[in-house]
Amino acid sequence: MSSLAPFFAQIEASTIATAIRDSMLLTGTLSGVHLLGMTLIVGSVLVSSTRVAGILFHDQPVAEVTRSARRGTVVGLMISMSTGLLLVAPRIAMAAGNGVFRVKMLILLTAVVFHFAIYQPAAQGLRPVVPPAIAAGVAWLLWFSVALAGCAFILLE
């Protein structure tokens, strides 16, 4: 991490990071929008995975449910990642050294890769690597774990 210290210091000293650090209103707004993005992700994955697993929405075609939910997931991901980057900017050195934050980032990376490489093809019926019901459960578990790790980071910071 020490080789990244000058880079982190530069980010923390940036105008945007300073504005966020110095404004409780801006920090609170970004945090609220970040949570809305995460809610959109976890909620849309929950809806689509329950359909893919055959638990709910039996009267709706899988493709229709997953298409709508996919939009929610992508929008939520864009919102959460952009606001997350802004929120971490004022304290990036501390976050990078925090084990819980690193675990959250690892789970996030795993969730994104799994979601687009394994879950989406399984949900669309395109040569699934694992059975669609298993992919659905793992996808939801990964995204829910990202949210829990974010809570743990805030509480243990």
- Spell out the per-residue pLDDT of the chain, length 157, in tens: 568 889 999 999 999 999 999 999 999 999 999 999 999 999 999 999 998 888 988 888 888 888 888 899 999 999 999 999 999 999 999 999 999 999 999 999 999 999 999 998 888 878 778 888 999 999 999 999 999 999 998 888 7
Alpha-carbon span 136 to 69, nearest angstrom = 13
Task: Using a cut of 0.85, tell me whether the model's pTM lies above it.
Answer: yes
> Using H for helix, E for strand and C for coil, what is the string for 30-97?
HHHHHHHHHHHHHHHHHHHHHHHCCCCCCCCCHHHHHHHHHHHHHHHHHHHHHHHHHHHHHHHHHHHC
pLDDT attached to residue 154: 85
pLDDT attached to residue 1: 55
